[in-house]
Amino acid sequence: MPDIKRIKEEGKYLLECINKTMDRVNWEFFIELANILPRIKRTFVTGAGRSGLVARSFGMRLMHAGLPAYIPGETITPAAQKGDLLVALSCTGQTGYTAYIAKRARELGAMVVIITAEPESTLTEVSDKTLIIPIEESNIVLKAAVFEHTVSLCLDALFNVLSRKLKIDLDEFRMRHANLE
Protein backbone atom coordinates (compact mmCIF):
# COMPACT_ATOMS: atom_id res chain seq x y z
CA MET A 1 0.00 0.00 0.00
CA PRO A 2 1.50 3.35 -1.02
CA ASP A 3 2.14 5.84 1.71
CA ILE A 4 1.41 9.56 1.71
CA LYS A 5 5.06 10.43 1.12
CA ARG A 6 5.19 8.33 -2.07
CA ILE A 7 1.96 9.80 -3.43
CA LYS A 8 3.18 13.32 -2.70
CA GLU A 9 6.48 12.56 -4.51
CA GLU A 10 4.57 11.25 -7.53
CA GLY A 11 2.42 14.38 -7.54
CA LYS A 12 5.48 16.63 -7.41
CA TYR A 13 7.11 14.67 -10.24
CA LEU A 14 3.99 14.99 -12.38
CA LEU A 15 3.89 18.73 -11.73
CA GLU A 16 7.59 19.02 -12.69
CA CYS A 17 6.88 17.20 -15.97
CA ILE A 18 3.93 19.50 -16.69
CA ASN A 19 5.97 22.63 -15.93
CA LYS A 20 8.85 21.44 -18.12
CA THR A 21 6.43 20.71 -20.96
CA MET A 22 4.66 24.06 -20.62
CA ASP A 23 8.01 25.84 -20.86
CA ARG A 24 8.51 24.17 -24.25
CA VAL A 25 5.00 24.73 -25.67
CA ASN A 26 4.62 26.85 -28.81
CA TRP A 27 2.48 29.62 -27.33
CA GLU A 28 2.20 31.34 -30.72
CA PHE A 29 -0.14 28.51 -31.73
CA PHE A 30 -2.55 29.43 -28.93
CA ILE A 31 -2.40 33.13 -29.85
CA GLU A 32 -3.26 32.16 -33.43
CA LEU A 33 -6.13 29.96 -32.21
CA ALA A 34 -7.40 32.78 -29.95
CA ASN A 35 -7.50 35.03 -33.02
CA ILE A 36 -9.28 32.42 -35.17
CA LEU A 37 -12.01 31.42 -32.69
CA PRO A 38 -14.07 34.65 -32.72
CA ARG A 39 -14.00 34.75 -36.54
CA ILE A 40 -15.02 31.15 -37.14
CA LYS A 41 -18.68 30.23 -37.73
CA ARG A 42 -18.82 27.30 -35.26
CA THR A 43 -16.27 25.29 -33.32
CA PHE A 44 -16.47 21.55 -32.77
CA VAL A 45 -14.21 19.98 -30.15
CA THR A 46 -13.37 16.31 -29.88
CA GLY A 47 -11.15 13.72 -28.30
CA ALA A 48 -11.56 10.33 -26.65
CA GLY A 49 -11.05 9.28 -23.05
CA ARG A 50 -9.40 11.88 -20.86
CA SER A 51 -8.41 13.94 -23.90
CA GLY A 52 -12.13 14.02 -24.71
CA LEU A 53 -12.86 15.39 -21.26
CA VAL A 54 -10.31 18.17 -21.84
CA ALA A 55 -11.93 18.88 -25.23
CA ARG A 56 -15.39 19.06 -23.66
CA SER A 57 -14.08 21.40 -20.98
CA PHE A 58 -12.68 23.67 -23.69
CA GLY A 59 -16.00 23.57 -25.53
CA MET A 60 -17.72 24.65 -22.33
CA ARG A 61 -15.29 27.56 -21.99
CA LEU A 62 -16.03 28.64 -25.56
CA MET A 63 -19.75 28.59 -24.75
CA HIS A 64 -19.04 30.72 -21.65
CA ALA A 65 -17.35 33.20 -24.00
CA GLY A 66 -20.51 33.31 -26.12
CA LEU A 67 -18.95 31.39 -29.01
CA PRO A 68 -20.89 28.57 -30.69
CA ALA A 69 -19.22 25.29 -29.66
CA TYR A 70 -20.37 21.71 -30.15
CA ILE A 71 -19.33 18.16 -29.32
CA PRO A 72 -19.51 15.70 -32.25
CA GLY A 73 -21.77 12.77 -31.42
CA GLU A 74 -24.13 14.72 -29.17
CA THR A 75 -27.73 14.72 -30.39
CA ILE A 76 -28.00 18.51 -30.58
CA THR A 77 -24.76 18.98 -32.56
CA PRO A 78 -25.44 20.53 -35.98
CA ALA A 79 -23.89 19.44 -39.26
CA ALA A 80 -20.31 20.60 -39.81
CA GLN A 81 -19.53 22.54 -42.96
CA LYS A 82 -17.11 24.90 -44.66
CA GLY A 83 -16.36 27.83 -42.37
CA ASP A 84 -16.41 25.68 -39.22
CA LEU A 85 -13.47 24.61 -37.07
CA LEU A 86 -12.71 21.26 -35.47
CA VAL A 87 -10.24 21.16 -32.57
CA ALA A 88 -9.18 17.55 -31.96
CA LEU A 89 -7.07 16.37 -29.03
CA SER A 90 -5.18 13.08 -28.89
CA CYS A 91 -1.94 12.31 -27.05
CA THR A 92 -1.00 9.50 -29.44
CA GLY A 93 -2.52 11.07 -32.55
CA GLN A 94 -3.84 7.60 -33.43
CA THR A 95 -7.15 7.40 -31.56
CA GLY A 96 -9.63 5.83 -33.99
CA TYR A 97 -12.69 7.87 -33.04
CA THR A 98 -10.79 11.17 -33.04
CA ALA A 99 -9.10 10.35 -36.36
CA TYR A 100 -12.47 9.51 -37.94
CA ILE A 101 -14.04 12.79 -36.75
CA ALA A 102 -11.03 14.80 -37.99
CA LYS A 103 -11.09 13.14 -41.41
CA ARG A 104 -14.84 13.63 -41.69
CA ALA A 105 -14.62 17.31 -40.70
CA ARG A 106 -11.92 17.82 -43.32
CA GLU A 107 -14.11 16.15 -45.98
CA LEU A 108 -16.93 18.53 -45.06
CA GLY A 109 -14.68 21.58 -45.52
CA ALA A 110 -14.08 22.48 -41.89
CA MET A 111 -10.67 23.69 -40.75
CA VAL A 112 -9.01 20.97 -38.66
CA VAL A 113 -6.71 21.84 -35.76
CA ILE A 114 -4.92 18.98 -34.02
CA ILE A 115 -3.26 19.03 -30.62
CA THR A 116 -1.13 15.94 -30.02
CA ALA A 117 2.16 14.75 -28.56
CA GLU A 118 3.08 12.77 -31.70
CA PRO A 119 4.35 14.64 -34.76
CA GLU A 120 4.12 11.58 -37.02
CA SER A 121 0.55 10.37 -36.61
CA THR A 122 -2.73 9.72 -38.36
CA LEU A 123 -4.18 12.98 -37.09
CA THR A 124 -1.34 15.19 -38.26
CA GLU A 125 -1.94 13.93 -41.80
CA VAL A 126 -5.41 15.54 -41.95
CA SER A 127 -4.77 18.75 -40.05
CA ASP A 128 -4.64 22.30 -41.30
CA LYS A 129 -2.75 23.29 -38.16
CA THR A 130 -1.00 21.05 -35.67
CA LEU A 131 0.39 21.76 -32.24
CA ILE A 132 2.82 19.22 -30.88
CA ILE A 133 2.92 19.13 -27.09
CA PRO A 134 6.64 18.42 -26.49
CA ILE A 135 6.57 15.75 -23.77
CA GLU A 136 9.86 14.10 -22.85
CA GLU A 137 8.34 11.28 -20.81
CA SER A 138 8.18 7.92 -22.61
CA ASN A 139 5.96 6.00 -20.15
CA ILE A 140 2.58 6.22 -21.95
CA VAL A 141 0.55 6.50 -18.75
CA LEU A 142 2.62 9.42 -17.46
CA LYS A 143 2.92 10.89 -20.96
CA ALA A 144 -0.86 10.89 -21.36
CA ALA A 145 -1.33 12.52 -17.94
CA VAL A 146 1.20 15.24 -18.77
CA PHE A 147 -0.48 15.77 -22.16
CA GLU A 148 -3.97 16.14 -20.73
CA HIS A 149 -2.98 18.45 -17.88
CA THR A 150 -0.75 20.59 -20.10
CA VAL A 151 -3.35 20.95 -22.83
CA SER A 152 -6.04 21.75 -20.27
CA LEU A 153 -3.91 24.51 -18.73
CA CYS A 154 -2.95 25.90 -22.14
CA LEU A 155 -6.56 25.99 -23.33
CA ASP A 156 -7.66 27.65 -20.09
CA ALA A 157 -4.90 30.26 -20.58
CA LEU A 158 -6.14 30.78 -24.16
CA PHE A 159 -9.68 31.20 -22.81
CA ASN A 160 -8.52 33.81 -20.29
CA VAL A 161 -6.84 35.83 -23.06
CA LEU A 162 -9.84 35.37 -25.36
CA SER A 163 -12.35 36.49 -22.73
CA ARG A 164 -10.36 39.69 -22.17
CA LYS A 165 -10.12 40.23 -25.92
CA LEU A 166 -13.90 39.80 -26.24
CA LYS A 167 -14.39 42.04 -23.17
CA ILE A 168 -16.65 39.56 -21.42
CA ASP A 169 -17.45 40.57 -17.88
CA LEU A 170 -18.37 38.40 -14.90
CA ASP A 171 -22.11 39.03 -15.28
CA GLU A 172 -22.02 37.70 -18.85
CA PHE A 173 -20.19 34.58 -17.64
CA ARG A 174 -22.80 34.06 -14.94
CA MET A 175 -25.63 34.36 -17.48
CA ARG A 176 -24.07 31.59 -19.60
CA HIS A 177 -23.06 29.27 -16.77
CA ALA A 178 -25.18 26.16 -16.26
CA ASN A 179 -28.00 26.76 -13.78
CA LEU A 180 -29.99 23.51 -14.03
CA GLU A 181 -27.71 21.69 -11.60
Structure confidence at residue 117 (pLDDT): 96
28, 118, 148, 181: the catalytic one is 148
Bigger pLDDT: 180 or 99?
99
Q: Is residue 155 part of a domain?
A: yes
At 179, is the pLDDT very low, low, confident or very high (cuts 50, 70, 90)? Answer: confident
- pTM, two decimal places: 0.93
Query: Looking at residue 43, which CATH number applies to its domain?
Result: 3.40.50.10490
Predicted confidence (pLDDT) per residue in 12-63, tens digit: 999 999 999 999 999 999 999 999 999 999 999 999 999 999 999 999 999 9
Domain residue limits at 36: 4-176
Predicted confidence (pLDDT) per residue in 54-108, tens digit: 999 999 999 999 999 999 999 999 999 999 999 999 999 999 999 999 999 999 9
Average pLDDT over residues 129-154: 95
Q: Is residue 77 part of a domain?
A: yes
Q: Are strands 85-90 and 111-116 parallel, antiparallel or unpaired?
A: parallel
Torsion angle of the four alpha carbons 151, 119, 86, 89, in this order, in degrees rounded to the nearest 10: -40
Q: At what angle do helices 140-165 and 49-64 cross, to 10 degrees?
A: 10
Structure confidence at residue 171 (pLDDT): 79
pLDDT of 1 over the 70 cut: no
Tell me the residue length of the chain: 181
Q: Is residue 57 part of a domain?
A: yes
Q: Is residue 53 part of a domain?
A: yes
Q: Is 148 a catalytic residue?
A: yes
Q: Is residue 181 part of a domain?
A: no
Q: How many domains does the chain have?
A: 1
Q: Is residue 104 part of a domain?
A: yes
